[in-house]
Structure 1
């Protein structure tokens, strides 16, 4: 399976935070061919281990990309059959009005998100964004029919499949962070071509969008020497400042900030320059809001890094990435991992 095919399968699938088990088998099937060991832990993380070339006391490096996506959840069924809903993860209500959705009840049910037409709104409502609590999902059934198929707590996802744009760019829901899973997949294939001392754990984590629980428990179990989160960063668009964004097609963003180990970050940039891999700097003075934060504060503290894939329109159903950045990010990770040895690790981790 090539990386783009895996990305399409994952993005077209469903896996809202807490319900990632629906795409677990796709990830296991893809990574199994390239792993020495693969397992699923108690929380649902998929852990694929690629062993290093040394036999004992190997360095352990954990790569984390989260497999969950933001979504919606049924909270009420009205007398007329309309479904009221709430959000799972950070959703801007302005982006869901008029969307096609899939209600994941006893079977998948097509529906649409609606609200009061503008013609019937009060003048005072015209310039205000419609709140989520004022929207409903219409699947076309009466309340009696809905209740046979839908329960309170069922998840809902936007109905969207991956689209090819021009060049190497694609648009989809859930590229945050299934693009990160694609990077991990590309990286494990790259590591099959080069020697590396470290044992590398490729962890597809759960629940990043709501709690980072998967990275916390995964890092506790593995207790790695180095943790690296692979997530997405804000891609440059006309309305955003270039200083706050990273550009598509120009390589991953290497994060600078309090969550990031300075010597490891310096080594990462040196490797990028050595192998002519394009990269950008991403500033995150506070918590990164990624699995890097969770890994950093696990156990006694794990030296951590964060690599960000440039992505436009984050947390919408039309997120956009450039597949070139997937390849650049994976190569940088692979060469960085190959550069870490038992002899060099202690010096890199010193402050």
Structure 2
């Protein structure tokens, strides 16, 4: 299927925070038929689809993925590293790619249990990367500060579930792709800006940048959220395969939230809800307070095993997220905005 092929492509490309430009050519190739594509100085990628009015809606999904960085090259020929957003337990025995002067494959290694007296405590400082090179060769190819990304191809599992690395948040970019395809032959009232934002994993920094540049009337962040099953967040009730998750809380504009729920009900699109009484930890947090305040929604795709190399989502959830966004945009009229924004 076309949307699955697109998802596979964007998940298997490496684009850590600060190097979202490595994803640009695939985004450009995928979205070029839907609007005008530009990239900002800090790597926010924007697809602009012109509407009938001057009012604007911004749909945002972050492009960056969690990553490692080289911070030491040992005389024995191993790499030490620092991590962003990754649990050390999930790194043991994983394949990685070091982005030095050339792409170098490596494995994350740990002392065998029979040699490690502290074997039950896996700490980042006890992990190292083995490339097979000696110090001289490694020192020639790798610099301190070079990026390291997880190496994993996407796998299809049962019941339309898929897993791989960087599914957070390329699944949401795939949902935007589906939304854009649904709107391809539709001219909406509002200008639509699809944004693949930069540096979310290091503090959702691209969200503020794009919000100030575009100045949208409405902002919708699309991200992933923890499932509530085994090994998930048992305080939540989110389940893979039961639809997009609509967030409720002070980060979310209550009238827009009601409107998108009505849209889902009207079109028989299954959805779930979750409560976030504080910081949602997503681009929505920064969109809301930019440019004097932007009415904001957060729509999430349930995910298992977040920030590992085997992040799992359901294709039906991705497609329903795209469909819901498309119906919401298609039915929204400029003359409704004033009433929607008034409490």
- Shorter-chain TM-score bucket reads over 0.9
Residue 302 (structure 1) aligned with residue 294 (structure 2): yes
Selected match of 2:246 from 249, 254, 263: 254
Residue 344 (structure 1) aligned with residue 336 (structure 2): yes
Task: Give the conservation status (yes or no) of the 8 Å contact 2:232–2:305.
Answer: no
1:23 Cα offset (Å): 1.1
2:46 corresponds to which residue?
47
Calculate the TM-score normalised by the size of structure 1.
0.95
Corresponding residue SS for 1:335: helix
1:211 Cα offset (Å): 2.0
Q: C-alpha deviations, 1:63-99, integer Å up to 9, x for none?
A: 0001100010100101111100001x31111100111
1:13 corresponds to which residue?
13
Selected match of 1:62 from 41, 58, 65: 58
1:230 corresponds to which residue?
222
Q: C-alpha deviations, 1:125-183, integer Å up to 9, x for none?
A: 2432x111111101011110101111111111111011111131110110000001101
Task: Give the conservation status (yes or no) of the 8 Å contact 1:106–1:150.
Answer: yes
Residue 273 (structure 1) aligned with residue 269 (structure 2): no
| Off by >4 Å, runs of 4+ in structure 1 | 239-243
Q: C-alpha deviations, 1:100-125, integer Å up to 9, x for none?
A: 11111111111111122211122xx2
Distance 2:30 2:42 in 1: 20
What do you get for the CA RMSD once the two structures are aligned?
Answer: 1.3
Corresponding residue SS for 1:244: coil
1:194 Cα offset (Å): 3.7
Task: Give the conservation status (yes or no) of the 8 Å contact 2:250–2:277.
Answer: yes
2:138 corresponds to which residue?
146
1:114 corresponds to which residue?
109
Task: Give the conservation status (yes or no) of the 8 Å contact 2:179–2:325.
Answer: yes
Task: Give the conservation status (yes or no) of the 8 Å contact 1:232–1:308.
Answer: yes
- Long gaps (5+) in structure 2: none
Distance 2:305 2:120 in 1: 22
Task: Give the conservation status (yes or no) of the 8 Å contact 2:231–2:305.
Answer: no
Q: C-alpha deviations, 1:186-217, integer Å up to 9, x for none?
A: 10111124442010000001100002111110
Residue 127 (structure 1) aligned with residue 123 (structure 2): no
1:180 corresponds to which residue?
172
Distance 2:40 2:231 in 1: 42
1:236 Cα offset (Å): 3.2
Task: Give the conservation status (yes or no) of the 8 Å contact 2:226–2:233.
Answer: no
Q: 1:323 to 1:43 in 2, by over 3 A?
A: same
Q: C-alpha deviations, 1:51-72, integer Å up to 9, x for none?
A: 11x2x4x220000001100010
Number of aligned residue pairs: 343
2:87 corresponds to which residue?
92
1:339 Cα offset (Å): 2.2
Task: Give the conservation status (yes or no) of the 8 Å contact 1:233–1:245.
Answer: no
